[in-house]
A and B are shown apart, each in its own frame.
Chain A
Amino acid sequence: MSDPMRIRAQAQGDKTTVRVLVSHEMESGQRKDAAGKTVPAWFIQTINATWNGKTVMSAQWGTAVSKNPFVQFSFKGGKAGDKIVVNWVDNHGDKRSDEALVA
């Protein structure tokens, strides 16, 4: 079971800036464990964000995105109280969705 994301969305002028921290191992598939066996890759492959239902960020990630990923983006529009929803899917088929309100 995965832990919640931290989503901070701040409206300023005609723009909203969103910062997301995701709790995920992002195992690269390059690392070996203590027994010398390769630890299989386990990583988020797709992530997207919506603002009041409209897609404002959509990305594909590889194994090189850091553990506990961070992403920042901004879009035109948005005001305090608007809803931001972020979704991800990893290569185990695990998914998670969290939401936050624009401040």
Chain B
Amino acid sequence: MERREFLTSSSGATALALAAASGLVPAYAQNAPGWNKVAFDSKSFAEAAKTLGATSAPVESKELVLQAPEIAENGSVVRVGAQSSMANTTQIAFVVEKNPSALAALFDIPAGTDASVSTNIKMGQSSNVYALAKVGDKYFYAVKEVKVTLGGCGG
């Protein structure tokens, strides 16, 4: 595991990590190599941005377009997409402010890949959804409120 993650983990997680390292707990307590646990533990958009490396508050940008429905018939599947027209966009993240873990997904954009991704995410309740883009060493965002509602009997 990374040293930074070790230092910032909560004591419980640290104990678990130590136990995992010594082979005392089964494999499912381990995280995949390269998975940023600290970022995924974030409880808000601001915290997610900070743990991903933003040194100042992200700036709202019209060059980052977030696609999300205004109303989600079911919070367990919500299609979100983000497109950045800013050159040198190297990461795009989706953050749901009111989810228990705010950061939903983080995409690296290798050179040659379009700064445009979409995926399906879960939302526990109505919330602001953010797209966060890393451009050089700066962070930009777009935001949209998605209302989660309940449908009827099942169509």
Question: Using a CB–CB distance below 8 Å, which chain A residues touch chain B?
Answer: 15, 26, 28, 30, 40, 42, 45-46, 54-67, 69-77, 89-93
Contact = CB atoms under 8 A, between A and B. Distances in A.
B128 interface: no
Given A66-B77, A66-B122, A75 B40 contact: no
Contact of B121 (A59, A64, A77): A64
B31 A45 contact: yes
A70 B122 contact: no
Interface string B77-118: 111010000000000000010011101111110101110111
Give the interface size bracket for B toward A: 35 or more
Given A40-B28, A91-B30, A64 B112 contact: no
B35 A46 contact: yes
A58 B118 contact: no
B113 A57 contact: yes
B27 interface: yes
The dominant DSSP class at the A interface is: strand
29 contacts: A15-B114, A26-B122, A28-B122, A40-B28, A42-B28, A45-B31, A46-B32, A46-B33, A57-B107, A57-B108, A57-B110, A58-B110, A59-B105, A59-B107, A59-B108, A60-B106, A62-B105, A63-B122, A65-B119, A66-B119, A66-B121, A70-B79, A73-B117, A75-B114, A76-B112, A76-B114, A89-B33, A92-B28, A93-B32
Contacts, number: 119
Contact of A62 (B34, B104, B118, B123): B104
B35 A60 contact: yes
B15 to A, nearest CB: 17
Given A45-B35, A69-B119, A69-B120, A62 B114 contact: no
B40 A60 contact: yes
A65 B121 contact: yes
Given A57-B107, A64-B99, A74-B113, A30 B124 contact: yes
Given A75-B114, A89-B32, A58 B108 contact: yes
List the 8 closest pairs (A to B, CB-CB), nearest first: A64-B104, A45-B32, A66-B120, A89-B32, A93-B27, A45-B35, A58-B108, A92-B28
Interface in B14-49: 27-28, 30-36, 39-40
A74 B101 contact: no
